[in-house]
Amino acid sequence: MNSDPLQGFAPQIPQIFSQQWAQMLALLHPPGKPADAPAADTASPAALRFDMQKLMALQQRYQCELTRLLSHAGAAPEPLEDKRFAADSWRSHPGAALMAQVYLLNSRTLLGLADALEADEKTRRRVRFAVEQWSAAFAPSNMLAFNPEAQRKLLDSQGASLAKGISNLLRDMQQGHVSMTDESLFEVGRNMATTEGAVVFENDFFQLIEYKPLTEQVFERPLLLVPPCINKYYILDLQPENSLIRHAVAQGQRSFVISWRNPDTGLQQATWDDYIEQAVITAIGEVREIAGSGQINTLGFCVGGTMLASALAVLAARGEAPVASATLLTTLLDFSDTGILDIFIDEPSVKFREWQMGQGGLLKGQELASTFSFLRPNELVWNYVVGNYLQGETPPPFDLLYWNSDATNLPGPFYAWYLRNMYLENKLVKPGALTVCGQALDLSQIDMPVYIYGSREDHIVPADAAYASTQYLSGPLRFVLGASGHIAGVINPPAKKRRSHWIREDGALPASLAEWVAGATEHAGSWWHDWSQWLAAQGGAQVAAPQGYGREPIEPAPGRYVRQKADANR
C-alpha cells in the first residue's frame, strides 16, 4: 500500500507547490527512511472500518443531494457561500456552477467518511486533515480549464493574465515559496522594523536591540521581549501603527528585544539548553547590566514564552530572582492540548526527527513555514495559486504576510528535543521531569506577577491551552482572552478599534477556560491598554529617560541578524 495517499497527485501541480506540499507531508508522515533509520511499526495497515449507521445515512444524504442538484441543473444556479466560487462568472456559467456544487457535495461527503471512521480520535483527525488537503487541492477553482473567472480574465486580457501568471510562477519557483503579498514593497529597516534603536550586544545566538525612549521619563525596570525563534522578531515591530514594541516604548517602557540569528551550519548542533543559557538567560543579564536595574520585566511570545518560562524556572532553581514579572502571549506550557499540530506528533515521527537531525543539522525554515500554511490551505496556499498563477494577479501589500514568508531555520538538536520533551511527553509541567541547564524544572517556583494572554480562535496555541498556564505558576496571575487567532489576536493595536477582549474583574482563575469565561466580561477593542496598565504597575518608579544607549551601539536597529535569509533552495 502506498504510504503517501497524495503522492499520485503531486505531479499534476506546479513544482513550487509540489515542493511545499511534500514538506508539509514530511512532517505529517516522514518519507521513506534509509536502512539505518529507527524502525517504526511496519505491520500492514488494518482495513478501514466505518460506523455502518453513519455510512448509510451519509450515502442516503449524498444520493438525495446529488439527485436534487442534477434535477435543477438547467435552472438558475444557486448562490454559493464559498468564496472560491463567489465571482459572478461562476453563476453565469451553469456548467461551472453545477461543477462547483458537486465538488462541494463530494467534499462534505469525504469529510463525513472521515468522521464515520471507527478509530481513535487522533487517527480520525489525521484522516480528516489528509481529506481536507486533498479536497482543497482538487477544487475546480484551482484549474484553468474549470475556472470561468480565470478564463474570463484570460480572454479580456488577450492572454496577458496567463503570461503574467507564468512569470509569477517562475519567480516563486526561484524564491522557494508562494508569494502571499507583493514582497517588493517591503524591506526590513526601511518600512518594517523601523522603531528607532541600536544593537547593544550580540553573540552567536542573538542580537540585543535597545530602543530609543519616546518619553521624557521611563520606568526604572526595563522590559525584555523574547520573540519566537522560529520566526523573525519584527512580528512585534511590523510598522509604526501596529508595532507592539513601539507601543511599549511610547508607554514609557525602556524596551529591549532579542533578534534571533537565522541559524546556518555554524549553529546546526545547538540545543535547547544552549538557547536558554546563551540567549534568554544571557539577555536577561545583559539588560540588567545595561539598565543598571536589579530586576527587569519580561515578555515571551509563542515559543519565546515557552523558552522564557524555561529560563525563569532554571533561574528559580538556582535561587536567582533577576526578573520581576513575565508576560506570556499565546504560549504553551502545558502541551496536553496542542490543537491541530497534534496530528504531526507521535513516537515514530519524533524518533525519525531525532535520527535525522537530533545530533546535528538544520530544519529548513521553508519546511516549517509551508506546514503552517497548509493548516489553512484555502486561505494561505490555493488562494494565492489561483490569484498569482491562473489570474496573473499581484497579491495586495500586507506586512504580516511578508513577515510570514520571511522564514527562519532551526537547529536540528533544538527542534528534536523540543518535539519529544514538550509536544510528545509534556514534561515541562511535571515537576522535576525535565532538566535544563543542569537544573530540574518546577514551574511552581516561578513566583512573580504573570500576565497570560490567549486568543480565542488560535489554532496553534488553543485558548484552553494558553489558559492552562494559570494552573502551574505561582504569584499573582492575570489572564486575558482576546478575539481572533494566533497572530491577529496579538497584533491588535488600540487605534484600529477592532476585536474584543475578555477580563474577569474578580481575578478568579478556575480550573477550566469555560468556567473562567462564564464569569468574564467582554470589552471592545484591543487588550493592549489593559496590559500597559498592568505592566506599569510592575515597572517601579519613573526616572529620567536615558539620553543615549546603555552601551556603545554595535550597529543601528534592526541589525544584521534579522536580515539573514533562510535559503530554501540550499
- In this structure, is the dihedral angle defined by the CA atoms of residues 31, 35, 37 and 40, taken in order, positive or negative? positive
Residue of 64, 229, 302, 437 marked active site? 302
Residue 105 has phi, psi (to 5 degrees) of -65, -45
C-alpha cell at 405: 514568508
Give the ranges where 409-462 is alpha helix by DSSP (H). 412-418
Residue 397 has phi, psi (to 5 degrees) of -65, 135
Contact of 562 with 193, CB cutoff 8 Å: yes
> Is-catalytic flag, 302?
yes
**Rounded distance, CA 158 to CA 478, Å?**
60
- Per-residue b/e over 352-390, b at no fewer than 16 CB within 10 Å? bbbbbbbeebbbbbbbbbbbbbbbebbebbbbbbbbbbb
C-alpha cell at 289: 547590566
**Rounded distance, CA 342 to CA 87, Å?**
36
The position carrying cell 518546577 is: 442
- Per-residue b/e over 142-156, b at no fewer than 16 CB within 10 Å? beeebbbbbbbbbee
Degrees, nearest 5: CA angle 530-532-538: 110
Closest to 454 measured CA to CA, from 469, 471, 476: 469
Assign residue 445 a region (left: φ > 0; alpha: ψ between -120 and 50; beta: otherwise): alpha
Degrees, nearest 5: CA angle 371-375-380: 90
**Rounded distance, CA 330 to CA 466, Å?**
6
C-alpha cell at 218: 521611563
Strands (E), 11-103: none
Closest to 286 measured CA to CA, from 227, 196, 209: 209
Degrees, nearest 5: CA angle 25-30-35: 150
**Rounded distance, CA 180 to CA 164, Å?**
16
Task: Provide the residue count of the chain.
Answer: 570
Give 263's Cβ-side CA count (13 Å radius): 25
**Rounded distance, CA 39 to CA 18, Å?**
27
**Rounded distance, CA 61 to CA 304, Å?**
47
Contact of 518 with 193, CB cutoff 8 Å: no
Residues with catalytic roles = 302
